[in-house]
Structure 1
Amino acid sequence: MSKADLDKVEDFKDKLLAEAEKLVHKVFPLKIVELTEMHQSEMLARERMASIHTKLNIPIPEPIMLNNSDLPDRKKRKIEDGGDLSLVHGSRVLALPDGLAPCNKHLVEIINILKPNICLMIDHIITLKMWIQLLIPRIEDGNNFGVSIQEDTLAELRQVESESGAYLDQISRYFITRAKLISKVAKYPHVEDYRRSVFETDEKEFLNLRLTCAELRNTYLSVYDLIMKNKEKIKKPRNSNAETLY
């Protein structure tokens, strides 16, 4: 490897170390305040849960009463087999009668604000993991108390990264679940329980998003507190430990 390439690697390491220091001392406190204000805002207020519902634009068709005894045998078979859709209007859905069934605009608004914060936290955690990894000294016998603190901190950051990814999965599952319920409402428009299940799913997602905002705030705070309390041992694991022996 050429000297120029080595210099680029060293420059990248220096920039990463500086960025991690900035995250801990400046960015994390700002994110804690920002997420606290978001959690306490009107957008995520508990009282708003009752008003987040959107009207389902799937009408309830008038029920059609058919007497099979009045129909020829050929048409009876078509109705029983679902072959003649014109005879039993609304029994199958080929297209939604009122066009697009929209998402819940209130929840989409919250998701569009909260999701970038989840992705940003993952980026922050990845940077801190690399920062601590670069600070781990070479393997030696003894005097590894500070190194164990670094490893424990890394394990905590990996757990945080996994949990942050789960928040994104939960958002995807919400849309998939709601889409399936909307399909059921369109296929069986007379079943009120399917319609109610859509509203219940929206309320559950609202509470989940509110909880996610609080968890992001708490995660920033716990990681900040952990690093600040152990900063000396994280940055200089062996030197800081040696000084405590005398």
Structure 2
Amino acid sequence: MSQAPASTDTRVYPAPSATADSNGPASKRKRTEDGIVPSSLANDATNARYPELVHANKHILKLHETIKAECAQLSDYCDKVKLWINLTMPNGDNFGVQIQEEVLSELIRSQESAYNIRDSVRQNHLTRAKICSKLIKYPNIEDYTLALKEHDEKQLFFSRQNLIDIRNVYAVLTDILHKNIAKIRSPRGNNRAGLY
């Protein structure tokens, strides 16, 4: 199986505004004689414990944006179809209503799948942040660099699998709706012709 390289940038960059103070390292807070902290020192990154930066993987960020958009669209479609089925559902219990209830439960499962896939993006960022914090803290340990690269490759694989799962959800919903569209539209059937 060939995949595009994760293009993980594991270099630790200095903070963008890290300027050294001419008087050396500062104490916890610098104050002037009148007690006001100058604005040039208020956002000083040189006093931060780890002012370094590890860039996010741009390719994975684009994939995550696509996954989030697809999950939002799937959830929106499920909401609309659920509303339509609920509005056509009559009172009573017959075979058509049971089919409608089964279709509704499948729509709910599909929506939960979309929410879980959407949440995996957040979990990826948290896991990657933990690896990056270790990489910043211990930049000379090569295993953290390798762990970050492996994590990004795994995320490429999972992103591809998530898109396949979304496609499969659409296929299952399309199949269920097409096979049961007559019972969903009129769950009681058209028995009026037999009455006359």
Report the residue type matching 1:114 in the other structure: I
1:128 pairs with 2:78: no
Q: Distance in 2 between matches of 1:228 and 1:219?
A: 14
TM-score using structure 1 length:
0.60
Residues 58/242 of structure 1: CA separation in 2 closer, same or farther (3 Å cut): farther
Mapped contact 1:146–1:241 kept (Cα < 8 A):
no
**Does 2:161 align with 1:211?**
yes
Question: 2:55 is matched with which residue: 95, 102, 114?
Answer: 102
Q: C-alpha distance in 2, partners of 1:203/1:236?
A: 49
Instruction: Give, in whole Å, the separation in 2 of the partners of 1:94 and 1:194.
Output: 16
Matched, 1:223 2:173: yes
Q: How does 1:23-172 map to 2 (within 5 A)?
A: 46-49=1-4, 51-58=5-12, 93-96=49-52, 100-139=53-92, 144-172=94-122
- The alignment partner of 1:237 has SS state of coil
Following superposition, the deviation at residue 197 of structure 1 comes to: 1.2
CA contact (8 A) 2:71 2:166 kept: yes
Checking the alignment, whether the CA contact within 8 Å between 1:232 and 1:240 is kept in structure 2 is no
Alpha-carbon distance in structure 1 between the residues aligned to 2:92 and 2:176 = 24
For structure 1, which runs of at least 5 residues remain unmatched after alignment?
1-45, 60-91
- Residues in 2 aligned to 1:111 and 1:185: alpha-carbon distance in whole angstroms: 23
Q: How much has 1:94 moved relative to structure 2?
A: 2.4
What CA distance in whole angstroms lies between the structure 1 residues aligned with 2:179 and 2:90?
Answer: 20
Q: 1:242 to 1:146 in 2, by over 3 A?
A: farther
Instruction: Point out the structure with the larger helix share.
Output: 1
Tell me the distance in 2 between the aligned counterparts of 1:242 and 1:145: 17
Does the CA-based 8 Å contact 2:9-2:55 persist in structure 1?
A: no
CA distance in 1, matches of 2:154, 2:191: 49
* CA distance in 2: counterparts of 1:117 and 1:240, whole angstroms: 38
Identity %: 32
Q: Distance in 2 between matches of 1:227 and 1:118?
A: 19
Shift of 1:48: 2.8
Q: How far apart, CA to CA, are the structure 2 residues paired with 1:93 and 1:54? A: 25
Number of equivalences: 159
Distance between the aligned counterparts of 2:116 and 2:157, measured in 1?
16
- Report the CA distance shift for 1:238/1:210 in structure 2 as closer, same or farther (over 3 A): same
C-alpha separation in 1, matches of 2:160 and 2:102: 29
Deviation at 1:242, TM superposition (A): 9.3
Report if aligned partners of 1:125, 1:157 keep a CA contact under 8 Å in 2: yes
> How far apart in 2 are the matches of 1:214 and 1:105?
21
User: What's the TM-score once normalised by structure 2's chain length?
Assistant: 0.75
Q: Following the alignment from structure 2 to structure 1, what is the Cα–Cα distance between the partners of residues 2 and 118?
A: 25
User: What is the CA distance between 1:112 and its match in structure 2?
Assistant: 2.1
Query: What residue identity is the alignment partner of 2:83?
Result: M
Q: Give the root-mean-square deviation of aligned CA atoms.
A: 2.1
Structure 1 runs (4+) greater than 4 angstroms displaced: 240-243
- Residues in 1 aligned to 2:78 and 2:114: alpha-carbon distance in whole angstroms: 10
Q: Structure 1 residues 241, 104: closer, same or farther in 2, change over 3 A?
A: farther
**Residue ranges of structure 2 left out of the alignment (5+ in a row):** 14-47
